[in-house]
Structure 1
Amino acid sequence: MRYKNSKKDNYALTLIKGVILSFIITLVSFIVFALILTYTNITESVIPTVDSIIMILSIAIGSIYVAFKVYKKGWLNGAIVGLAYIAILIAIRRLISGNVQYNVYLLVKVAISIITGVVGGMIGINIK
Structure 2
Amino acid sequence: MEESKNFGSAILFGVIGIFLLAIISSLIFSLILRFTSTQESSVQFIITAISFVTLFAGGFISGGKGKQKGWLLGGITGLVYSIIVFMFQYLGHNSLFDVEQIIYHTCYILIAMMGGILGVNLSSSKTRNA
TM exceeding 0.5: yes
Give the counterpart of 2:65 among 62, 69, 72: 69
Which of structure 1's runs of 4+ aligned residues deviate more than 4 A?
none
Shift of 1:113: 0.9
Q: Which has the higher helix share?
A: 2
State the identity as a percent. Answer: 29
Does residue 106 of structure 2 align to residue 111 of structure 1?
yes
TM-score (norm 1): 0.83
The residue type paired with residue 110 of structure 1 is H
* Matched residue count: 122
Question: Quick one: distance in 2 between partners of 1:75 and 1:2?
Answer: 19
How far has the Cα of 1:23 moved from its partner? 0.5
Indicate how the Cα distance of structure 1 residues 71 and 10 shifts in structure 2: closer, same or farther if over 3 A, else same: closer
1:2–1:71: 8 Å Cα contact kept in structure 2?
no
TM-score scaled by length of structure 2: 0.82
Q: Which deviations, in whole Å up to 9, do the C-alpha atoms of 1:67-98 show, x marking residues without a partner?
A: 11111111111111111111111111122212
Trace 1:34-73 onto structure 2 (pairs within 5 A).
34-46=30-42, 48-73=44-69
Structure 2, unmatched stretches of 5+, are: none
Instruction: Give structure 1 stretches of 5+ with no counterpart.
Output: 4-8
